[in-house]
Amino acid sequence: MPGNVKVVQRPNETSSYVRAALKGMKVTMKHLLDPHTVTQQYPDEKWELSPRMRGTHRMATHEDGRAKCVACGLCPTVCPVNCIKLIPAEDENGERYAAVYEIDEFRCIFCGYCQEVCPVEAIHLGAHYENSEYTRERWVYDLERLCEQDHPFTALWDPADPRSQ
Amino acid sequence: MPEEENSDLVSLTIDGVEVQVSEDSTVIEAAEKAGVVVPHYCYHPGIPTRPAQCRVCLVEVEGQDKLQPSCKLPVQDGMEVHTDSDDAELARKSVIEFLLVNHPLDCPICDAAGQCMLQDYAFETGQLQSRLNEEKLVMGRDRIADDILYFADRCIICTRCVRFMREVAQDDSLVVAQRGDRAYIDTFPDEDLDNPFQGNIVDVCPVGALVHEDYLFKARAWDMDKTPSICPGCSNGCNVTLDTKENQIVRLKPRYNGEVNSYWMCDYGRKHLVMGNRGVRTEVPLVRQGGELEPMDWSDALAAVGERLGGIEGGSAVVSPDACNESLHYFRRLLDTLGVPADAGSYRVEQGEEHTLPGFPKLTLREDRAANGTGADLFGFRRVESWPEPEPGAPLFVLQETLREAPESYAEDASFFLYLGSHLSPAARRADAVLPVTTFAEMAGTFTNHEGRVQRFQKALQPPGIARPAWMVLSGLLARSGDGSPVLDAADAFGEMTDERPEMAVLNWGRVGLKGQTLDSGAGAEAGAGAR
């Protein structure tokens, strides 16, 4: 018999179940009188998320609704799973902007590097977890969809303690 | 960079490394030889003057009270130079801090990011926070040529572009306007830059101030794969680097070769190749069966073509001066096997205006706007103004010539028309067999330039479909009739070619290397640096 295995000595003859049944009833009665719930009533009651929870992305926008992204190309560069597709272009003012910006949320591992590397604080992960879709294609978020998201941004570090980053 | 001339050598010590250099070189050149990187902006080895105005290359020289600009300081025997002393490093750090005073720090949207000397050296100094409290000066941007934009805010007034235009292109149309922190680069009022070599000012710019509009926001420096190649725009054979991204050529950059193009290249060459990304490409072998061109795989197509070639005697041939030496070699061998007369092969070269770079006359945009006319000559193809109409009822063989400018009825009456090409032009659609071959960017091989310098290019792109290099296809066809074996590697194709051609016997794949070897060179005389 190896090391720390506990061997329970059971009686060989048959024993009464009455004592065990009464023990179970006692627990039931106790909970009847003093209810304490651990089950969360999910669809009615939502989870309270940590501000650092890393969920699906959200793009920050200017006041006029334009994405803050300047198409610098750092997020597709730093992304460890290549889930970001970016094609930069020049807009009518000669500014650089993202003509195509797509994130494949299926491929994403939610590491948060894109948010960390962004020089203009445009792309963020979000504290968000309800993401069901009917088709796989819907999991590729384009720029418009990223801008429409309204869940809170993930805080990658505690704003009160900037050194924590 | 000064070539090793017969001048006397002096020896000096740089950061404890002793080097021997010729006495007319400067300290920064000696430092390069010693393997010490001295940061610099205004110094460029290809531009003659050294104004020593950026002050980044200051070094400490023992026995001299003040720091000295290493780009301008002539070497002396026994000199002891320190590039990493406290004084030198403090000076460098301070100069870079000053350069950044009005610099917008817009690296995220700047096309030079990743290949910017200001970014590199500023990062090296390690100062992450600006100490500037004032507003930055904003000057905006300007168009100084058709296709070149100038971002005045990013400019550090190193004047490399002005000096390139003035001294190398010998065109005084670019100047520094204003003074102090308001200085900027400009052309004269109402005049744009218009020089066939102006694209080089973008290459010499150490920051992102001068940007090609074609390249604007196209790619990040780190996204691109870089492949050493040869510019196919004219017969000068400039050494270039192909920058590719997602199997497309994004831009060309000149690659230094002191015998051909120095640090420069012309604008025609830069723009010419971007066309290579376009056009209808041939992707699979097509063989005519019952009046229709049928797609096939390679073994079926080669068998079908080989069968048709079996009963053929004589005919004529057209080659493209853009075909590489190896392809021309095997094509010539195939024609000889088929009994095509030696003078029945012709090629045509598009002509254009000649432009010479005054500061480096070896770099000339030649009249022959094709890379390998000399090679076609070497393999006995006849140069013509327009292709002779093939004899009715005789076979016709075409190698890589698109026939885009051929007359409507060209080759209508050919008894058998074999077309090896990368693009499918209307004339080529009449072929009895179309064998898809790669363009030069999709294969390895050699070109012979106007002065007989054989230079290698490497594969930069994946070919479309199942296209193969022409030398591979032709050697496969020859092997089918029992003549040799199929060649799968460019080095082997080159080896077979030099073995069979006495005038090419001096050439060696390794020695041709990345810098080329001339046909009249004795063995070893033109050893290419870094044979690979």
CATH fold of B9-99 reads Ubiquitin-like (UB roll) (3.10.20)
State the DSSP code for B423.
Answer: B
Can you give the pLDDT at residue B7? 64
Can you give the pLDDT at residue B276? 60
Can you give the pLDDT at residue B44? 96
Contact A71 B223 (CB under 8 A): no
Considering only CB atoms, B216 lies closest to which of A72, A73, A90, namely A90
Can you give the pLDDT at residue B118? 95
A88 contacts in chain B (CB < 8 Å):
217-218
Distance from CA of B48 to the nearest CA of A (A): 35
Can you give the pLDDT at residue B532? 34
Distance from CA of A90 to the nearest CA of B (A): 7
State the DSSP code for A153.
Answer: B
Quickly list DSSP for A15-44.
Answer: --SHHHHHHHHHHHHHHHHS-------TTT
Hey, is the C-beta of B278 within 8 angstroms of any chain A C-beta?
no
Distance from CA of B84 to the nearest CA of A (A): 32
Contact B217 A94 (CB under 8 A): no
A43 compared with A160, residue with greater pLDDT: A43
Contact B141 A90 (CB under 8 A): no
Distance from CA of A152 to the nearest CA of B (A): 26
Contact A77 B223 (CB under 8 A): yes
- What is the spatial distance between Cα B259 and Cα B414, in angstroms, rounded to a whole number? 45
B112 contacts in chain A (CB < 8 Å):
none
Can you give the pLDDT at residue A165? 56
Least confident range from A27-41, B21-35, B184-198: namely A27-41
Strand partners, A49: none
B217 contacts in chain A (CB < 8 Å):
71, 88-90, 96
Please state, in angstroms and as integers, the Cα–Cα distance from residue B331 to each residue in B23, B163, B186, B448, following that order: 52, 47, 52, 16
Contact B216 A119 (CB under 8 A): no
A119 contacts in chain B (CB < 8 Å):
107-108
Q: What average pLDDT does the segment A69-84 reach?
A: 95
Say which CATH class B107-116+131-220 falls into.
alpha beta
Distance from CA of B415 to the nearest CA of A (A): 50
Minimal CA–CA distance to B266: which of B234, B295, B300? B234
Can you give the pLDDT at residue A35? 74
Q: Write down the mean pLDDT value for chain B.
A: 91
Contact B216 A77 (CB under 8 A): no
B220 contacts in chain A (CB < 8 Å):
72-73, 77
Hey, is the C-beta of A77 within 8 angstroms of any chain B C-beta?
yes
Considering only CB atoms, B217 lies closest to which of A74, A88, A119, namely A88
Minimal CA–CA distance to B58: which of B99, B12, B15, B92? B92
Read off the pLDDT of residues B177-231 as tens digits, 9 standing for 90 and up: 999 889 999 999 888 899 999 999 999 999 999 999 989 999 999 999 999 999 9
Hey, is the C-beta of A162 within 8 angstroms of any chain B C-beta?
no
Can you give the pLDDT at residue A4? 86
Q: What average pLDDT does the segment B147-162 reach?
A: 95
Which of A96, A97, A165 is the best mutation test for B, with the most CBs of B within 10 A? A96
A71 contacts in chain B (CB < 8 Å):
109, 217
Contact A73 B220 (CB under 8 A): yes
Total domains in chain A come to 1
Q: What average pLDDT does the segment A107-135 reach?
A: 93
Can you give the pLDDT at residue B530? 39
Long-range contacts, stretch B480-483, CB < 8 angstroms, 24+ apart: B480/B302, B480/B303, B480/B306, B481/B306, B481/B309, B481/B310, B481/B337, B483/B333, B483/B337
Judge whether A26 lies within some domain.
no
Closest CA in chain B for residue A120: B108
Which residues 114-143 of B are in CB contact (within 8 Å) with A?
Answer: 141
Can you give the pLDDT at residue B527? 44
State the DSSP code for B26.
Answer: B
Hey, is the C-beta of B216 within 8 angstroms of any chain A C-beta?
yes
* Confidence label for B522 from pLDDT (cuts 50, 70 and 90): low
CATH number at residue A137: 3.30.70.3270
Residue B3 has pLDDT above 60, yes or no: no
Which of B110, B147, B220 is the best mutation test for A, with the most CBs of A within 10 A? B220
Distance from CA of B423 to the nearest CA of A (A): 28
Can you give the pLDDT at residue A81? 96
- Domain locations in chain B as residue ranges: 9-99, 107-116+131-220, 286-351+364-518
Read off the pLDDT of residues B225-272 as tens digits, 9 standing for 90 and up: 999 999 999 999 999 999 999 898 999 999 999 999 999 999 999 988
Q: What average pLDDT does the segment B312-324 reach?
A: 92
- What is the spatial distance between Cα B111 and Cα B220, in angstroms, rounded to a whole number? 7
Residue B328 has pLDDT above 70, yes or no: yes
Residue A12 has pLDDT above 90, yes or no: no
* Confidence label for B277 from pLDDT (cuts 50, 70 and 90): low
Closest CA in chain B for residue A72: B108
Q: What average pLDDT does the segment B139-151 reach?
A: 92
Closest CA in chain B for residue A74: B108
Q: What average pLDDT does the segment A123-152 reach?
A: 93
State the DSSP code for A137.
Answer: G
Quickly list DSSP for B375-401.
Answer: HHHHTTPEE-SSPPPPPTTS-EEEES-
Hey, is the C-beta of B220 within 8 angstroms of any chain A C-beta?
yes
Contact B141 A94 (CB under 8 A): yes
Judge whether A77 lies within some domain.
yes
The beta-strand segments (E) located in B255-325 are 286-289, 292-295, 316-319
The total of other beta-carbon atoms located within 10 Å of residue A157's CB is 12
Contact B108 A72 (CB under 8 A): yes
Percent pLDDT > 70 in chain B is 96
A73 contacts in chain B (CB < 8 Å):
220, 223
A124 compared with B291, residue with greater pLDDT: A124
- What is the spatial distance between Cα B98 and Cα B78, in angstroms, rounded to a whole number? 34
The CATH label, of 3.40.50.1980, 3.40.50.740, 3.30.1340.10, 3.40.50.2300, for the domain at B286-351+364-518 is 3.40.50.740
Strand partners, A101: A86
Closest CA in chain B for residue A91: B217
Strand partners, B474: none
**Strands B248-254 vs B239-245: parallel, antiparallel or unpaired:** antiparallel
Size of interface A-B (CB pairs under 8 A): 27
Minimal CA–CA distance to B389: which of B336, B344, B332? B344
* Confidence label for B426 from pLDDT (cuts 50, 70 and 90): confident
Residue B4 has pLDDT above 60, yes or no: no
Contact A71 B141 (CB under 8 A): no
Read off the pLDDT of residues B431-488 as tens digits, 9 standing for 90 and up: 999 999 999 999 999 999 999 999 999 999 999 999 999 999 999 999 998 888 999 9
Hey, is the C-beta of A131 within 8 angstroms of any chain B C-beta?
no
Contact B222 A77 (CB under 8 A): yes
Distance from CA of B295 to the nearest CA of A (A): 34
Contact B223 A73 (CB under 8 A): yes
Q: What average pLDDT does the segment B325-336 reach?
A: 95
Q: What average pLDDT does the segment B74-90 reach?
A: 94
Hey, is the C-beta of A74 within 8 angstroms of any chain B C-beta?
yes
HSE-up of residue B241 (Cα within 13 Å, Cβ side): 13
Percent pLDDT > 70 in chain A is 96
**Strands B345-347 vs B382-383: parallel, antiparallel or unpaired:** parallel
Q: Is the ipTM of this complex over 0.85?
A: no
Residue B346 has pLDDT above 60, yes or no: yes
Q: What average pLDDT does the segment A68-75 reach?
A: 94
Which residues 60-119 of B are in CB contact (within 8 Å) with A?
Answer: 107-109, 113
Strand partners, B288: B293
Contact B108 A90 (CB under 8 A): no
- What is the spatial distance between Cα B26 and Cα B455, in angstroms, rounded to a whole number? 32
Minimal CA–CA distance to B219: which of B200, B246, B255? B246
Owning domain of residue A147: 55-164
Contact partners, residue B312, CB within 8 Å, separation at least 6: B338, B395, B415, B416
Contact partners, residue B140, CB within 8 Å, separation at least 6: B152, B153
Task: Provide the sign of the torsion angle of the four alpha carbons B457, B458, B464, B468, taken in this order.
Answer: positive
